[in-house]
Chain A
Amino acid sequence: MNPLPLVAVAGSPNAGKSALFNALTGARQKVGNYPGVTVERHSGRLTLADGRPVELVDLPGAYSLEPASPDEAVTRDVLLGRQKGERQPDALVIVLDASNLDNHLRFALQLIELGLPTIIALNMVDLAKRDGLELDSKRLADELGVPVIETVAVRRRGIAELQAAVDDMLSAPFCGVHEHVKSDLIHLQRRAREIATAAVVSETPVRRWTHRLDAVLLHPVLGPIILAAIMFVMFQAVFAWSQVPVDWISSAVAWTSGQAATALPPGLLRSMVVDGAIAGVGAVITFLPQILILFFFILLLEGTGYMVRAAFLMDRVMHGVGLSGRAFIPLLSSFACAVPGIMATRTIDDPKDRLTTILVAPLMTCSARLPVYTLIIAAFIPNTRVAWGVGLQGLVMFGLYVTGIAGALLAALVLRRGVLKGSGGGFMMELPKYQWPPLKDLVIGILTRVQIFLKRAGTIILGTTIILWALASMPQAAPGQKQSDVSIAGKIGTAIEVVVKPIGFNHDISMALLPAMAAREVAVSSIATVYSIDSADEQSGATRLEDKLRHRWSLATALAFLAWFVFAPQCISTIAVTRRETNGWKWPLFMVTYLFALAYLAAGATYWIAVAAGL
């Protein structure tokens, strides 16, 4: 069978390439990786009017065919048919930002020189018009010698026309690709400006909206205040908005657990399903709403163009500890998960900047820590109000995030003075226009994350909880003995306990630390599993996990446990992605060592201080 025709979508960053790709393919997308490099490959399927399918691949954003980053190198190599794991595209859709023609045209001219069948999508024509820029797309097509379709990807305008043009292009005979003709950049830039000038019908002052918003959002005093406020609202919302759906999910889990308990005969199987699978996975999916809300904010900030402004505001501070403002985005994404955060460091050009960012990224409080934090906070911190709209629990959570951030900045500073000494890299970024991201793109982004999370809950987390259940249930305790003392897990926990006892960790925590390496949130399900097995003989399976914790842990232990999780590299995926991104074991091992050392010290200090304070 012949492979489907492959059409590549290329363009400069901020040209609305992804929105156009989403509009053309819908939610049926595949995200993979190019072999050997750490650049994501987004592909999807487009169905033409007559039902023929076409494979569409969204190339990484690039400013030119002379790469300044690994992403740009992939774009060049795919287009020249040199990229491993990708055939040469049969045709090309170039996305141009209509209001940024003179700049984006240079890249388009380079691409047209390749000789692939090409269509230009002149995107965001509405924004250009709003900015007082009227373009003659016919004239542009004449100058460039390729079809030009006006589109507004976020409103799906021009998408049908673009599909029809792709159809025409694929039906026409095609005579092979030229060698990459390397016209010199200056010449191309001048030609681009000529064409842009020719295509402009009328032009009045630019970017009024963006300009007005920037005057406030990038204001030297207001800007940082607004940024802090946005961050604060974001983390308060993670708590406040999630309460109701979290309650729904917990009651659904409790109901399932009850149904399973009555349906199954008492014995090992019932124990495995109820105490292992349902208790473990249930404890974790309860946190889905919070993860959703966090991702919603991150995607919204990214989609509106505010994320880059945040990088601008923070660059000097980041520079002070040897990072660049560009590190702000990967680090902020690490609040959701360090894995995509570390992958996002690819946009940092300077290798030492990038390595430092990777090494401190796990200190940003990822969403997998949320279940742990939420559980401990709900159990030990009273739900009182500190001020209007500010709860004590939210405040403690905010404090944990701040501690992580402070730890990351401090670690970066030390790393930059020590093992990663060297000149700081630069900070050069385009500040795109503000725009309201289409709901559809937000939904696609969130759904992809939910899928990943549920997949983890269904595989790694389910697997680990069942293994833990087995380790915790066997061998069976004789009457009068406590199950968690006899079991294999208990024995392992006892060995770990020797090391962590000085920092206030009890036997249950020691048992949870090992499986939590698989994924941090497993700590919660592990504790849930251990307690529900133990309580099976006490006939109190219905008590909430928070209440059980309150009976068994001291406040000092709980606080030490929180401090541990701020720093501990409790996640194999993070270690694996670090290995992949740094091409070796040296840096991941370094990362694990320094983070465990920090976690131990922080938990210890917290415990000792809390005990001294009489908590």
Chain B
Amino acid sequence: MNAPFQPEMTGLDRLKVGTRARVASVNWAALDEGEACRLRHFGFDEGVTVEPLHLGPFGRDPIAIRVGRMTVAIRRRHAGAIRVIPLKQ
């Protein structure tokens, strides 16, 4: 991945609850086939707006994320494979 350096780009796992962000890229290679397939089914894709809504009570894992009008729960590790650019509030 040779994306140009963007200071505001971060992993979806590091985004604060309630911060909306746009998906910049998904590192599909970091996920196995089934996981990648599920994420795609949930609609994770470049350009989609996401927002972390809730964190699991233990170890702040998993993370509930709004994608479109859907809310999905994924583990912190998988969220890390999704790079996002926070939107101006």
Contacts and interface: CB of A to CB of B under 8 A. Distances in A.
Interface of A: 63-64, 66, 68, 99-103, 131, 133, 185-186, 189, 206-207, 210-211, 214-215, 218-221, 223-224, 308, 311-313, 315-317, 319-320, 325, 349-350, 426-431
A319 B40 CA distance: 23
A223 B42 CA distance: 25
Contacts, number: 111
Contact of B35 (A103, A317, A325, A426): A426
B62 A316 contact: yes
Contacts of B9: none
Interface in B1-39: 34-35, 37-39
Given A214-B54, A325-B62, A207 B74 contact: no
A317 B43 CA distance: 27
Interface centre among B39, B54, B78 (most CB of A within 10 A): B54
Given A68-B34, A68-B38, A316-B62, A428 B74 contact: yes
Contacts of B57: 219-221, 223-224, 313, 316
Contact of A99 (B37, B42, B69, B73): B69
Given A63-B41, A189-B45, A325-B62, A429 B56 contact: no
Contacts of A206: 66, 69
23 contacts: A63-B41, A100-B70, A102-B68, A103-B42, A103-B43, A189-B40, A189-B45, A206-B66, A207-B69, A220-B60, A223-B57, A312-B56, A316-B59, A316-B61, A426-B34, A426-B38, A427-B74, A427-B75, A428-B38, A428-B74, A430-B42, A430-B70, A431-B71
A349 B38 CA distance: 10
A103 B35 CA distance: 17
Interface residues of B, number: 32
A430 B71 contact: yes
Contacts of B64: 214, 218, 312, 431
B75 A426 contact: yes
Contacts of A308: 73
Nearest to B68: A102
Main secondary structure of the interface of A (DSSP, over half): helix
B62 A68 contact: no
A428 B56 contact: no
A195 to B, nearest CB: 13
Contact of B69 (A102, A219, A317): A102
B54 to A, nearest CB: 4
A428 B70 contact: no
B71 to A, nearest CB: 4
Contacts of B61: 315-316, 319
A426 B42 CA distance: 14
Given A68-B38, A103-B43, 11 more contacts: A100-B69, A102-B68, A103-B68, A185-B40, A207-B71, A224-B57, A319-B61, A350-B34, A428-B35, A429-B72, A431-B71
B58 A431 contact: no
A425 to B, nearest CB: 8
Interface in B49-89: 53-62, 64, 66-75, 78
A315 B41 contact: no
B61 to A, nearest CB: 5
B58 A317 contact: yes
A427 B71 contact: no
Contacts of B69: 99-103, 131, 133, 206-207
